[in-house]
Amino acid sequence: MLNVFTLANGRLFQEEIDNPTALAGVQPVWVDLEAPTAEEKGWVRARFGLAIPEDVVDEDLEESARFYEEDNGELHIRSDFLIDADSGPDGQGSRNVRVAFILYEKVLFSVHAEDLPVFRLLRLRARRIPALIEDAKDVLLKLYDADAEYSADALEGVYDNLEKVSARVLTQDVDDRSAGEALAAIAREEDLNGRIRRNMMDTRRALSFLMRSRMLNAEQFEEARQILRDIDSLDSHTAFLFDKINFLMDATVGFININQNKIIKIFSVASVGLLPPTLIASIYGMNFRLMPELNWDYGYPFAIGLMVASVAAPFLYFRRKGWLR
């Protein structure tokens, strides 16, 4: 999909591009390529003289491979953008999507494999708010700003979900099934929290590169610094959530251990309670010829009654002590 945006009266407008002739007739400020076809890449190459990279999903984290400038003035940036579980299609869950940015000839080119909530958010705002964007660099900064805001909203969702898990774990009797569900929910929130932190770290690196490149004007430089301050506040919040996640994880595992200890305690009490009758049965099972009760008419009922009493006495004692609860 080829999305081409032009500036008019301080607002972004999307142009209908279905052939190379239509692309040649516009002067865009932002060209967004979502899972582009070879034909669409050819249109961009013919119109702007720009080769679209194939390694958008390259996992190389070295700064020299993710932030660099070509001899012809192309500025390349690789950034990760977050997709929360609620925004992902087909229940794919939370994930980070790699986006390749190229600043060339006052046009921002973005290449990614799937639609991103942050991009939709910026397009909506840029159509409604006048003078929000003045050039291609503003588009890039506004994308990073929207990404930080989107991550903040996702963190609020993590906190709300952890509060629900906390209410379930700390205010109710937790059996093994509910504990397993709580552990699964905690693991999902921990994964999302980690992805948010990684996303913010990546955004910080990209903004630092832009600021060092000296391509931003004074207003844009200050905006980049403000986004970095927002990211710093999000970092402290992710650290707080990691502590909360660890606490809930430990509490849930503790309840599982308590439930297991209850089962082990029951088996231990049963074993101790059955020791006296086993001893009695062993004594009367000996094959000695001279045994006092051997020819006694009431010997068998006496032995059975003695075994029942030896079982009942320990269990009554354990129950009085509260060990059977």
> Which position has the higher pLDDT, 266 or 146?
146
CATH number of residue 309's parent domain: 1.20.58.340
Q: Which of 218, 241, 258 is the last residue of a domain?
A: 258
Q: CA-CA distance, 156 to 172, in Å (whole number)? A: 24
Question: Given the DSSP bridges, would you call strands 30-34 and 107-112 parallel, antiparallel or unpaired?
Answer: parallel
Average pLDDT over residues 286-309: 80
Same domain, 250 and 316: no
Same domain, 188 and 240: yes
Same domain, 185 and 309: no
Residue pair 193/242 in contact (Cβ under 8 Å)? The answer is yes
Residue pair 258/227 in contact (Cβ under 8 Å)? The answer is no
Residue pair 173/256 in contact (Cβ under 8 Å)? The answer is no
pLDDT at 324 over 70: no
pLDDT at 104 over 80: yes
Q: Which of 258, 273, 308 is the last residue of a domain?
A: 258
CATH number of residue 67's parent domain: 3.30.460.20
Residue pair 96/117 in contact (Cβ under 8 Å)? The answer is no
Same domain, 307 and 167: no
Question: What pLDDT, on a 0 to 100 scale, did the predictor assign at position 149?
Answer: 92
Same domain, 134 and 271: no
Same domain, 174 and 219: yes
Whole-model pTM over 0.85: no
Express each pLDDT in 8-62 by its tens digit.
Answer: 877 888 888 888 888 888 888 999 998 888 888 888 888 888 888 776 655 554 5
Residue pair 191/112 in contact (Cβ under 8 Å)? The answer is no
Same domain, 40 and 114: yes
Express each pLDDT in 141-188 by its tens digit.
Answer: 999 999 999 999 999 999 999 998 888 887 767 777 888 888 888 998
Residue pair 244/190 in contact (Cβ under 8 Å)? The answer is no
Structural domain span for residue 274: 259-321
Same domain, 112 and 143: yes
Element (H, E) at 263: helix 218-284
Question: What pLDDT, on a 0 to 100 scale, did the predictor assign at position 125?
Answer: 84
Domain total for the chain?
A: 2
Alpha-carbon Rg of the chain, whole angstroms? Answer: 34
Query: Within 13 A of 262's CA, how many CA atoms are on the CB side?
Result: 11
Secondary structure letter of residue 186 according to DSSP:
H
Q: Which of 235, 258, 281 is the last residue of a domain?
A: 258
- Name the phi and psi angles at 59, rounded to 5: -90, 10
Same domain, 253 and 263: no
